[in-house]
Every structure is written in C-alpha cells, then in structure tokens.
Structure 1
Amino acid sequence: MARFDLTDRTTGERVSLAYDDEGEGSAVVQLHGLTSSRARDRRLGLDFIAGMPGHRLIHYDARGHGHSTGPRVPAAYAWPRLAEDLLALLDQLVPDEPVHAVGKSMGVGTVLHAAVRHPERFSGLTLIIPPTAWASRVSQHDAYVHNAEVIERRGLRYWSSLEKRLPLPPAVRPDRPFTLPDVEESLLPTLYRGAAATDLPPVADLADLDVPTQILGWIDDPSHPVSTARTLHEVLPDSRLAIARTPADVGTWSARIAEQLEAAGERVGGAVVRARR
C-alpha cells in the first residue's frame, strides 16, 4: 500500500490517500462507494477489475474511507472535492496518458465530476450502480441526514442493526455477508452529511461529455435507481446500458469491463494516447 498526500481546497487540511498500483499496460482506476473501501469491496465481491491481465490496476480509498484520512467538515466530501482528489492522484501516477475509470455509486459522482472538468484525462468510463441524482437526490438527502443523526445518538452498532433488516436488491447475492462501514465511527456522520449535500453534474454538462461510457445498473434499489442509469444513457453522447436483475447478471460485469477495455485498445490500434493539456 502506498500513500499520496494533497491539500483539501475546502479546509486547507492535508488529506492522505491510500492506494494500490499493480500490473502493467493501459491504466484502469477503480473507485468504491460511500462507506466502502478497497478492502470492503473485495469482501463484498465488488472489485470488478481484480486480476485483470494486460492493465495497470489502480485502487484507492476515498478520503475519509479505509486507510485514507479526511477532514471533519461535510463540505469536504462533496463529489467535486472527491473529483479533485482523483485528478490529483492521476496526475501523480499517470501524468502522460488518459485512463479508464470504473466508478461505483459515490464513485460515479466522483468520476463524472472529474470527467466533465477534464475529459482528456479519460479514455473511457464504466459507471456502476449510479446513485440517486437530480430530483431523486432530495429524498436521499433526508435519508443520509437521518443516518448521521441516528449514528450520533445511538452509535454505529445500533444503526447497523437497522441496516441489516433492509432487503437486498434482487441482483445481490442473498448470501453476501453484512459488513460494517469501513469508516471511523466518529467521522461517519460527517461523510453522510457531505453526501447528502452533493449531486451529479448538471445534465447539460454531461451532454457535452463525449467519452465512451458503459453504464451498469441493477433493479429495485432506491439508493441506486434505474432512473439515474437510464437518464445517463440518454444524455451521454457515447454510452451503453445494461441492467442486472439477478446475481448472475452482476457476474458478467467484469467480463463487460474487459470487453470495453479491449474495444478501446482496438480503437487506438495499440498506440499510446497522450493527454491533451
């Protein structure tokens, strides 16, 4: 595990990101969701690029998650701030070529804000279970604030006992283990309040994002509604959409990403594509 330090623009505090950088070939960076981490994604079977041959695989813990540090200010966890972390990390690790970004849930917000700001840094995007956005973000705001308040009043264990009772989406394996958030308990309410106050980029900005994109959603998950995935598919100029209904469908996602990367390699004829600066 390596570390990359940067300064948060919201607070001026230092943020230290923990990351792994393995393999050789074109670079692929994977981003986890809210309250998760590299390690938690592996335990839950959500590392969709694990062991993918022929690529340089970069995983990192978002600020405040896993082994990364973060400020105790909700605004520091807005998705545009997380996008700045991603861009800074890529400039440090892969300064001379665009990368393929695989974002899940919160990671979708991070990737899209980064790509809207600097599309030349990305050769392709994979957006997995896009979160609530725009109109649907209003109810999610209230749910996240409620989570923060319950954790502050009753503690993480009590909140987790409530979460365990919630039904899983049908595309999630019913035997998937329940895992606690990979976030320090005292910091978790801050992360939830930060997530409550942020959103995906405006639709008009996304309509100008001409980067090859694959969108992978699943059904019956209020926090990751199919409506967001479909709107992204309609708006993004170069996108494909697949909706999972069963765990077997989710089991195809790694192969879908591999096919997307292979197609991207064929488009550039194996040449190294330099970022436009």
Structure 2
Amino acid sequence: MTEQFNINQFNCSISGKGSTLVWAHGLCGCMQSEDAIGLYAWHRFPKKLQLIRYDAIGHGLSAQGDSVDDYLWPNLAKDMLRVAAHYRAPTPLILGGQSMGSATSLYAALAQPELVKGLVLMTPPIGWQARAAQVDYYHKIAKAARILGGKGLAQMNAKHLTKMLPSWLVNAHKHSVLGMLDGLKSMKRQTLHQLFTAAAHNDLPSKQQLATINVPTLILAWEGDDAHPVASAKTLHKALPHSTLHVASKMDHVDEWPELISEFCLALQS
C-alpha cells in the first residue's frame, strides 16, 4: 500500500538557493517560536545555501496528526525527507534540528543514508537509560495536557522557565524567552496528549545504529538543561564517527551557534 503525503499539511518556509539545510524545530515548538526567542538568526543564514524550515505535524500552522504514531521520531523523519523531496531540494542534504528536530534528523539519516551528507544536532534530547526513567513523567504530562490544553501548559511552563532552559540563557533573554511558548499556546488537547504519549515511546537510536551514520555531524549542547543533558550530546559525539561537539556554558557561546551552523553547511557545499 502506497503511503500518501500531502504537502498542504505542512507550513513551510524556503529561502536561498544551492546546497540545502532542512531544519526541524523542537517538541511543542514551531518556526514562529524559534523566531521569537531569537537564538537562531536565520535571517543571517547564507543566501548561497537553501534553507527549508517547516512546522512538524501537529505543531505551529501544520495540520494535526491522526494518531500517536504520527509523532514517533522515525515517522517524523519520513515527513522531513518528504518535505525536502517535494521541493526538489538537491541531494545529498544537510539535515538538522533542535531537540526533537535533531532526533528526527538522526532517524532520517538512518532511513535514507544516501540522501544525507551532514547533520546539525542542536541540544539533543535525553536518551537511552536516562530517558527510560522519564517515561512516567511523559505519561503524566500527556494526561495533564488533555485537561489543560496548550494555553494551560504554556501558563504553567511560563512560571518554570528554568526547568526548560538553562538559567543563564533565561536571564540573558528575559525579553524574548517567553516567545518559545508561542507554539505551545495554540496546540490542541488531543495533539498534546498524542505527542507526549509518543514521547514516552521515543528514544534516540542505539549506539550500534549511530555508528553507521558516516557523515560530518555538528553537535551543539548547553549546560544546565535536564531535558537536553550534555551527557546525551557526549554519547552521540562518541558514537557518531565524524562528529564535532560544542558545549555552551554561557550566552556568548550560544551567540556563536548561528555562525557555526553556517560555516558547517558552507564547508559541505558541493
């Protein structure tokens, strides 16, 4: 049976021409929330490269998913590759994303290695044994989401931003950090329930799988974030054969990330 793909389900943004970076946001985020927090500086991304960004299924202005399966990372990876294929992005591609988006990129590289020439993994999510210890937490959030909805969760998270981001980043971006909740506010109860139920089932690829990803990989991590621990980034760095790791401990380090991403992509331009 042929799987159907409708690009109209996805809110997408395309700029520049040339070698392509396909970028995916994090859990409960969207393009709007990325722009609001102001860390990415996509307006400075080189115009001689093509940048494809999109809202994942159930996020931002994209359509809702039908089931928990739609939010499993291997299925989000299929969406990523289909978006790139629809816009006839020249292959091989550079794939990247933040948190959920970095997990999506890894699974896309495993699914279609011949289509990928580089990865950018920004604040990879918690994985493996440490993630297994969080399963009950994800189920609790799924139940809470069914009651509170996006607005309720956003209001709750606004009071505890340092549980979602490093305290030094929150202090440096007090004027814009609440923007990261913009995408969450409009999310539906059913979507959030499915999304966090999927989070309880999701995990990063095994070390054996990671060892087969034979492309240059840029890993960007930051200290002080339990949901995106440096330990996960270090494990990925050790497992991925051609990876470079940068760990930020202050805002000055994160301010360098847009340039690091641009330089990495330019170096891979064919």
The structure that is strand-richer by fraction is 1
Residue in 1 that maps onto 2:169: 172
User: Which of residues 20, 37, 40 is equivalent to 1:27?
Assistant: 20
Matches within 5 A, 1:114-129: 114-129=108-123
Matches within 5 A, 1:221-232: 221-232=225-236
Bigger mean CA offset, 49-58 vs 249-258:
49-58
State the Cα distance separating 1:76 from its structure 2 match.
Answer: 1.6
State the Cα distance separating 1:246 from its structure 2 match.
Answer: 1.0
Question: Is structure 2 residue 203 aligned with structure 1 residue 209?
Answer: no
User: Does the 8 A contact of 2:123 with 2:228 survive in 1?
Assistant: yes
How many Å separate the matches in 2 of 1:87 and 1:154? Answer: 33
State the Cα distance separating 1:48 from its structure 2 match.
Answer: 4.7
Residue in 2 that maps onto 1:184: 187
User: Does the 8 A contact of 2:56 with 2:62 survive in 1?
Assistant: yes
| Paired residue secondary structure (2:169) | coil
Matches within 5 A, 1:72-151: 72-94=66-88, 96-151=90-145
What residue identity is the alignment partner of 2:255? G
| Paired residue secondary structure (1:124) | strand
CA-atom RMSD in angstroms: 2.1
Bigger mean CA offset, 15-24 vs 100-109:
15-24
How many Å separate the matches in 2 of 1:43 and 1:141? Answer: 30
Give the ranges of 4+ consecutive aligned residues of structure 1 lying more than 6 Å apart after TM superposition. Answer: none
The structure that is helix-richer by fraction is 2
Structure 1: gaps spanning 5 or more residues: 1-5, 266-270, 272-277
Question: Is structure 2 residue 219 aligned with structure 1 residue 219?
Answer: no
How many Å separate the matches in 2 of 1:103 and 1:240? Answer: 16
User: Does the 8 A contact of 2:170 with 2:177 survive in 1?
Assistant: no
State the Cα distance separating 1:77 from its structure 2 match.
Answer: 0.6
How many Å separate the matches in 2 of 1:41 and 1:57? Answer: 14
How many Å separate the matches in 2 of 1:171 and 1:242? Answer: 17
Q: Which has the higher contact order (CA 8 A, sep 6+)?
A: 2
Aligned length: 257
The percentage of aligned residue pairs carrying the same residue is: 33
Structure 2: gaps spanning 5 or more residues: none
Residue in 1 that maps onto 2:241: 237
Specify whether residues 241 and 151 from structure 1 end up closer, same or farther in structure 2 by C-alpha distance, changes over 3 A only: same
| Paired residue secondary structure (1:196) | helix
Question: Is structure 2 residue 224 aligned with structure 1 residue 252?
Answer: no
